[in-house]
Amino acid sequence: MRAKKVDINRWLDRSKRNGERAKRLALLSQLSQVLNSTLDPKEIRRRAMEAATRLMKAEVGSLLLVNEEKHRLYFEVALGERGENLKMISLNLGEGIAGWVAQYGKPLVVNSPEKDCRFFKGVDERTEFKTRNIICVPVRVKEKIIGVLEAINKKGKGKFNQEDLSLLISLADQVAIALDNSRLYQELEEMFFQTAKSLADAIEKRDPHTGGHTQRVTRYSQAISKYLPLTHLEKKWVKITSVLHDIGKIGIEDYILKKPEPLSPKEFEIIKRHSKMGAEIIEHIRPLREIIPGVKYHHEQVDGKGYPDGLKGEDIPILAKIVAVADTYDAMTTDRPYRKAMDKKIAIDELKRCSGTQLDGEVVKAFIHAYQNGEI
């Protein structure tokens, strides 16, 4: 009977362990879904560290990323009570538990950090945090270590064990995949913006009067949109609209574009076609249909005296109103062949004066807000 009893206890124990393991694996699966359901790198990093904390039942979790140029590890994000203090700290590769893991690419459980010569007391000292135990694994993208994921202080009186280690390794693999997908997405987005920007610049260069105009209008528009109630996506459209707002000038002939003297009324009518022509080009780019109104109407005025359609007030789309303010300010504050650039302050007064007639009042307010905060 004695043998039997031992068996029972062993079975009970194993059953409990397996049940516990299944629960934690289900949690891992759920956390990895959360991790992968965004392509925003900052959000992925936050979720990664939150997931490590939950999955490890730890007091604090953190993600450190390798900065290759500086050969250092930076606390990207850190949660938990003392997380904020961690953000200021970075480690050399090889320094501390995290530095060791990043350098050798091996996972590590340290349940008595004070006895481990790799443990770096500096972090605890600076954060007034007492590390009782620590579990740390490498985050690897295509054989390259891009960082480490760690959890500190198992809640209760427990220690980190092999089971924890195997779960955290799985989580780190998911984190690596999510970060890599987001990197690919960011790179493609960067390629899109840079290409649109460079082609717009090249097109703009045909007009000798407007060096750098597109870039400045883009900067001003982005500053304005920070002070308007726009979504993240709408802000992206603002950026793209301002990059491409003058694209229609490609259709205006040299003899008008490059004319040093003031234009004749007839020539001015031709120049005015550029906003509509720009919209026609954008119409061929289906994924950019959102910005067609912005490009087409960036010379409309709220009093209806603009072009091409003489739209009034609320009929003018917000994207167009934003570009109009940025565009007007840039025209006033840069030299033209027939007049000097206006002083910034006088230009601001001019914007205020035109607010509600030529320009939208709310957008002018947002512009002034950005200007006062030194963003323009």
Answer for the pair 301, 339: CB distance below 8 angstroms, yes or no. Answer: no
Instruction: Give me the least distance between CB of 246 and a second copy, in Å please.
Output: 12
Nearer to a second copy, 200 or 366 (CB): 200
Answer for the pair 312, 303: CB distance below 8 angstroms, yes or no. Answer: yes
Contacts with a second copy by CB under 8 A lie at 8, 11-12, 14-15, 18-19, 21-22, 25-26, 28-30, 32-33, 36-37, 39, 170, 173-174, 177-178, 180-181, 184-185, 187-192, 194-196, 198-203, 205-206, 247, 250-251, 253-255, 281-282, 284-288
Nearer to a second copy, 91 or 240 (CB): 240
Instruction: Give me the least distance between CB of 19 and a second copy, in Å please.
Output: 4
Nearer to a second copy, 65 or 203 (CB): 203
Answer for the pair 160, 56: CB distance below 8 angstroms, yes or no. Answer: yes
Instruction: Give me the least distance between CB of 214 and a second copy, in Å please.
Output: 13
Nearer to a second copy, 172 or 348 (CB): 172
Q: What b/e string do you get for 92-127 counting C-beta neighbours within 10 Å, with b at 16 or more?
A: ebebbbbbbbbbeeebbbbeebeeeeebbeebbeeb
Instruction: Give me the least distance between CB of 204 and a second copy, in Å please.
Output: 10
Instruction: Give me the least distance between CB of 297 and a second copy, in Å please.
Output: 19
Distance (Å, whole) CA 316 – CA 300: 7
Instruction: Give me the least distance between CB of 365 and a second copy, in Å please.
Output: 32
Instruction: Give me the least distance between CB of 152 and a second copy, in Å please.
Output: 23
Nearer to a second copy, 206 or 226 (CB): 206
Nearer to a second copy, 203 or 323 (CB): 203
Strand order across the 144-154 sheet: 90-92, 72-78, 58-67, 144-154, 134-141, 108-110
Nearer to a second copy, 229 or 260 (CB): 260
Answer for the pair 59, 80: CB distance below 8 angstroms, yes or no. Answer: yes
Instruction: Give the 3-state secondary structure of 247-280.
Output: HHHHHCCHHHHCCCCCCCHHHHHHHCCHHHHHHH
Report the greatest alpha carbon distance in the chain. 110
